[in-house]
Amino acid sequence: MNPIVSKKWLLARLYEPDLVIVDCRFELTSPESGREAYAESHIPGAVYLDLKEDLSAPVTVHGGRHPLPDPAMLTQRLGRAGISNNTRVVAYDDQGGMNASRLWWLLHWLGHDNVYVMDEGFSTWKDSGYPVTAEQRITVPASFQFTPRPEMLANMQQVRQSLDDPNVLLVDSRDAERYAGLQEPIDAKAGHIPGAINRSWKQVLNEAGAWKSNDQLKEQFASVIAAIDSGREVIIYCGSGVSACPNVLALYRLGYKQVKLYAGSWSDWISYEENPVATGDE
């Protein structure tokens, strides 16, 4: 099934008992705003998972700005949200699917495939006259057993070893200006990992803010798909392992499930002083 579902699809299944809807709204510049927005208004029955507090580990010297959470701790949090191995999960946000895709990726990493991202986001849902509420769901805790898929991950050492490897393609998911090192509003160093090409995650969306069609995505990722088809390994990264997830999801949607996420991403890469940095285009 397509991992991107429409708001009409979700509306038709809103009260099905095996469905858990997860509100993933989060703003990097205002970390509390997502939880506050959820408290004010959300899709009926939705629970809230916070990118920083629930879907990331505490920040340390290495690991990036949103370190990968410990699987055991994450599964406890998912269980408290009512998510079990038999649950269908639909995630949404108001950030173009960026944060919802993080939850989608995390659940797949833990071995749970029945998870989807709602297209267009909460504002479109609300503006379309679909039901919203401030009432918070009474959650019945569930048991979630995880089976991590290490093949979905790349760590810093693997990325470093790939720098001179023609069989590996690195894909940077940040905006072109950050990739080129022309500006860096968040991290301590500007630029990109040497050899990486740039495919901004925002390009998975059309001008209306909805996900592009498969044909459009195939055109956008043509060089990446060609690399995969030729047997090359593809590792995708961004600033902190969050905005790379829509690119991973887009390729997964096209049938390319073997791409890896460098979870620590650029903010982890530059935490090692010896790691090289490139600027400009490649």
Per residue in 198-215, pLDDT (tens digit) is: 999 999 999 999 999 999
Task: Answer yes or no: same fold for 4-127 and 151-269.
Answer: yes
The pLDDT confidence band at residue 135, using thresholds 50, 70 and 90, is: very high
The pLDDT confidence band at residue 151, using thresholds 50, 70 and 90, is: very high
Which CATH superfamily does the domain covering 4-127 fall into? Rhodanese-like domain (3.40.250.10)
The domain segmentation of the chain, as residue ranges, is: 4-127, 151-269
Two structure tokens written together for 186: 């968040």
pLDDT of residue 67: 98
238 assigned to active site: yes
- Above 90 in pLDDT, residue 179? yes
d(CA 70, CA 66): 12
Name beta bridge partners: 138: none
Considering the candidates 171, 238, 245, 259, report the single residue annotated as catalytic.
238
The distance of Cα 216 from the centroid of its chain, to the nearest Å, equals 20
DSSP 160-173: HHTTT-TTEEEEE-
Architecture of domain 151-269: 3-Layer(aba) Sandwich (3.40)
Dihedral sign, CA of 265, 271, 274, 276?
positive
Q: Rounded mean pLDDT of 247-265?
A: 98
Dihedral sign, CA of 126, 127, 130, 133?
positive
pLDDT in tens, 242-251: 999 999 999 9
pLDDT in tens, 25-61: 999 999 999 999 999 999 999 999 999 999 999 999 9
In the chain, % of residues over pLDDT 70: 100
Who contacts 274 (Cβ-Cβ below 8 Å, separation ≥6)?
none
Q: What is the mean pLDDT of the chain?
A: 97
d(CA 133, CA 153): 37
- Above 90 in pLDDT, residue 155? yes
DSSP 112-165: ---EEEESS-HHHHHHTT---BSPPP-PPP--------GGGEE-HHHHHHTTT-
Query: Do the beta carbons of residue 111 and residue 182 sit within 8 Å?
Result: no
Indicate the residue type of 159. Answer: V
Two structure tokens written together for 32: 């509390």
